[in-house]
Amino acid sequence: MLRRAWKPIAGTIIGVGAPASLYYYYTRVKPVTFDLKVRETGPDGKRFMTTRSFDLLSTNQVEKRLKENAIVQSTPRPSGIVWNRATASLASNNPIEDASASAIIERDKTETGPEGDLLFFAVMDGHAGTHTSQLLSKTLIPAVAMELSTLINPPTPKQSSSILSTAKSYLWPTAVSSPSTMSDANPSHFSQRIQEAFINLDNGITEAAVRLLDFESAKSDNKDKDFIPDLSKHPLGQAAIQPALSGSCAILAILDTARRNLYVACTGDCRAVAGIWEEASDGTGSWKVEVLSEDQTGRNESEAARMRSEHPKDNPDDVIRNGRVLGGLEPTRAFGDARYKWSTELQDRLSKAFMGGNMRRWPGALNSPPYVTAKPEVTHRTLSIPALSPGSASADKSALRFLVLATDGLWDQLSSEDVVALVGGHLSGLKGAIPKSDLPKLVPTTTGTAAVEGKSERRELVEGAWAFVDDNPGTHLIRNALGGANNYQLRKTLSIPAPYSRPHRDDITVTVVWWEEGKEGEANTTTLNVEKPKAKL
């Protein structure tokens, strides 16, 4: 009986199982796709619009991508404060052109100054490649720290030929020197040294290839004055020229706990924003939004006026055209970007020496370079942290609680007010989906220093909800910049691959710094993202 019955049963299984398998495949296995209009380049080099289909990432894939480059570090200090740093990044370009760096350097007590820390936090927004931003991630903080060391601990006459001065002359042959009478207690002196470090470092970046070319030309047996050696395969050739040809914006925050000062140095269109907690007499309070930098682009009217004043013989419409330097580069200040700094004659020589004559041609109307500078604008604020100034009534009523530094990919999507409210709500413990219309009631903000917008436009704030689901406040900001609690929008935005993603989102790197009161007995002297466990000035 059973032997005769198995065939119809098997047929039933096959007849029912096949449609079930197909149903499972199309509903559970087959990738969900979406269509998107993109710009392509044809065989003739002309650009045209077309429609492409892309796979929609799953929620799990999105979560992994949001969190794979996110870290949180806590560092207790002898002052009794625990400094927290959260950094997160999300690529649009492949590879990502952003970078970041941080360090805590302990200051010794000297005859002229108290002990404390210098805390450095930086983000870099590269363009036209990763070379400049990656180099800055390794050299910017050491360069500034080395410059400040001569201000905090000025060398004695017997130390005039010290290792430090020798290293500076080797790294920066044209380094700017400052009067030895400067003091780190004077914010203007401190700011000047930061500017000098930025300028000297950029000089090193843009002059490396030139020095290598001059050196190789001088040692050649060829006496032809027009001789140009072939450096395309020189072991130092690409390392010398690539950081100069690509470019990078950078923003650096320095918290000087000994002198109770906060400095922010900005070159380009990254931005720094502080959240200041202001407590009312009834115990309630609000977050004051303090923007600590200006977006340095051709759409910033003061930057455009500065640029035009520095090139009076040029056509003003050429210096800044469509909000860009010579119609090409958006930031008016940057490291590298030597195409806007070298003369046309020098670029022609370097192109032949390093690129076989195939280096990207200089911008049109390049009449009086340099057009771009790495000199930062440095802003200074008193560092109002109650734990650093116990007994100060004013500090208790208004205190800096956190600092956000980010590349322009974040600010393209979120305003400074959005960012302070989102971080303030995160630190206060908000959870879940919060309607955007409700957040101002839950996390009230006031405007201190308003942002100078250097972009043509920012994404309009759409109705919906913010998502408070991340432990890392940097990841929290990136999630809300790209979709918030709208899971489908978030998945779709992150599913667009490079290079098609660039019109929809830029590389984003965010660093959030905040402090908590700790216990001195638990303090450890550590550093962030540096090789040595301890450093001093």
Angstrom CA distances, 458 to 228, 283, 410, stand at 47, 35, 10
Report whether 405 contacts 510 (CB < 8 A): yes
Report whether 293 contacts 451 (CB < 8 A): no
Confidence of residue 281 (pLDDT cuts 50, 70, 90): confident
Over residues 166-180, the pLDDT tens digits come to: 445 444 555 544 555
pLDDT recorded at residue 154:
74
Report whether 449 contacts 291 (CB < 8 A): yes
Confidence of residue 161 (pLDDT cuts 50, 70, 90): very low
Average pLDDT, the chain: 86
* pTM score: 0.88
Could you tell me which residue, 536 or 254, shows the higher pLDDT?
A: 254
Give residue limits of the domains in the chain.
53-296+331-337+372-522, 297-330+338-371
pLDDT recorded at residue 301:
94
- Identity of residue 170: Y
pLDDT recorded at residue 528:
30
Confidence of residue 31 (pLDDT cuts 50, 70, 90): confident
Pull the structure tokens for residue 427.
């630190």
pLDDT of 288 > 60? The answer is: yes
Place of tokens 């192109």: 351
Over residues 366-384, the pLDDT tens digits come to: 999 999 999 999 999 999 8
In angstroms, the CA 273 to CA 289 distance is 7
pLDDT of 526 > 50? The answer is: no
pLDDT of 259 > 90? The answer is: yes
pLDDT of 332 > 60? The answer is: yes
**According to CATH, what is the number of the domain 53-296+331-337+372-522?**
3.60.40.10
Over residues 479-498, the pLDDT tens digits come to: 999 999 999 999 999 999 99
pLDDT recorded at residue 115:
85
Report the pLDDT averaged over residues 134-161: 84
Cα-based torsion angle of the residue sequence 171, 172, 177, 178 in order, rounded to the nearest 10 degrees: -60
Number of other CB atoms surrounding residue 157 within 10 Å = 6
Please provide the DSSP assignment of 213-272 as one string: HHHHHHHSS---TT-----TT-TTHHHHHHHHHSEEEEEEEEEETTTTEEEEEEESS-EE
Report whether 335 contacts 250 (CB < 8 A): yes
**Which of 54-63, 153-162, 429-438, 496-505 is least confident?**
153-162
Pull the structure tokens for residue 484.
């918030």
pLDDT recorded at residue 9:
36
Confidence of residue 190 (pLDDT cuts 50, 70, 90): very high
Report the pLDDT averaged over residues 406-425: 97
Range with the largest mean pLDDT of 221-225, 337-341, 518-522: 337-341
pLDDT of 163 > 70? The answer is: no
Contacts of 30 (CB under 8 A, 6+ apart): none
**Which of 101-115, 176-190, 361-375, 468-482 is least confident?**
176-190
Over residues 506-516, the pLDDT tens digits come to: 999 999 999 99
pLDDT recorded at residue 22:
45
